Amino acid sequence: MLHACVGMSVFGDTVSLEEGSTSVMVTSCVSVTLPVTCVRSVNLSITHNSTPKVTAQGIARVEQHLAQFGDDAANQAMIARLKAGQTSTQDLYFYMHESKESAVMRRTEGAFSDMYEWQRAAHLETLNWQKSPYSPGYESQLYHPDVIRQFPQQFNPQTWPQ
């Protein structure tokens, strides 16, 4: 176990965690750079305490990941927000969620015979990684209230902003 990391850098599919002269490599993660306050284990259970850097490359990766599921107006609206430089909590959680989910799906490719089950398993693993319970209304953590208002039919009513 590695504790009290100074920082974490993520490049493509490799993560380098450093503490003094100790370096640990972890694979299949997201394309962001963020400081880390605590790494509980090498499986990337981390405490996020800062803003991830949203990049054009990261947005393209999210778009490519989401394209495999077909057109989704709410997802497209969130991508448009990211491209416009929006960085609300929901924008960043969406970006992190889709980036991580993409990495999980690459890591588990071939493990499922059914596309829906594969995507669902990756989705649930990603929510767990984000410490986000899979319960009615959880989407309000991933989608900006303006997007939910624009496409209410795509969301559980418990997600709708008050």
pLDDT tens across the length of the chain (162 residues): 333 333 333 333 333 333 333 333 333 334 333 333 333 222 333 344 567 899 999 999 999 999 999 999 999 999 999 999 999 999 999 999 999 999 999 999 989 989 899 999 999 999 999 999 999 999 999 999 999 999 999 998 888 887
| H-helix or E-strand spanning residue 62 | helix 56-67
State residue 158 phi and psi, 5-degree precision. -70, -15
Q: Please report the pLDDT score of residue 40 as a whole number.
A: 28
Instruction: Tell me how far apart the alpha carbons of residues 21 and 9 are, in angstroms, rounded to a whole number.
Output: 15
Six-digit token pair at 40? 């509980």
Give the single-character DSSP code of 54. Answer: P
pTM above 0.75, yes or no: no
Nearest to 80 by CA among 105, 54, 102, 101: 54
Q: Please report the pLDDT score of residue 6 as a whole number.
A: 31
- Asked if residue 139 lies in contact with residue 159, where contact means CB atoms within 8 angstroms, the answer is yes
